[in-house]
Amino acid sequence: MIIIQTTIGSEEDARELTNYLVNKQLIACGTFTKIQSIYKWEGKIQQESEYEINLYSKESLHDQLIETLQEKHTYELPKITTIKPTYTLPEYDDWVNKETI
């Protein structure tokens, strides 16, 4: 199993993107929470509310999921990070595999 993280600007965008990926069976589950981000963009310090999304999928869908995220993302330069858990409950891992293509 892999977890891909991204951030997005609004709850509506987070919900839309997550729903799209679940419907396409590219992820089994997606979770998102409101966060505060401070970063430098185009030479200026930015402070904004964003939503961090965790997308749960199987490794074989990694490249397709990254490509889809890049196509569907609302940001010019999105954060897209892949995390490989050191442990996943086997039953959860089985569920992720069954719910994705």
Query: To the nearest whole number, what is the mean pLDDT of the chain?
Result: 97
Please give the pLDDT value at position 86: 97
pTM: 0.95
Confidence of residue 60 (pLDDT cuts 50, 70, 90): very high
Helices (H), 6-89: 11-23, 62-72
Mean pLDDT of 60-65: 98
**What pLDDT, in 10s, does the model give residues 36-59?**
999 999 999 999 999 999 999 999
Please give the pLDDT value at position 2: 98
User: Domains, the chain, ranges and CATH?
Assistant: 2-99 (3.30.70.120)
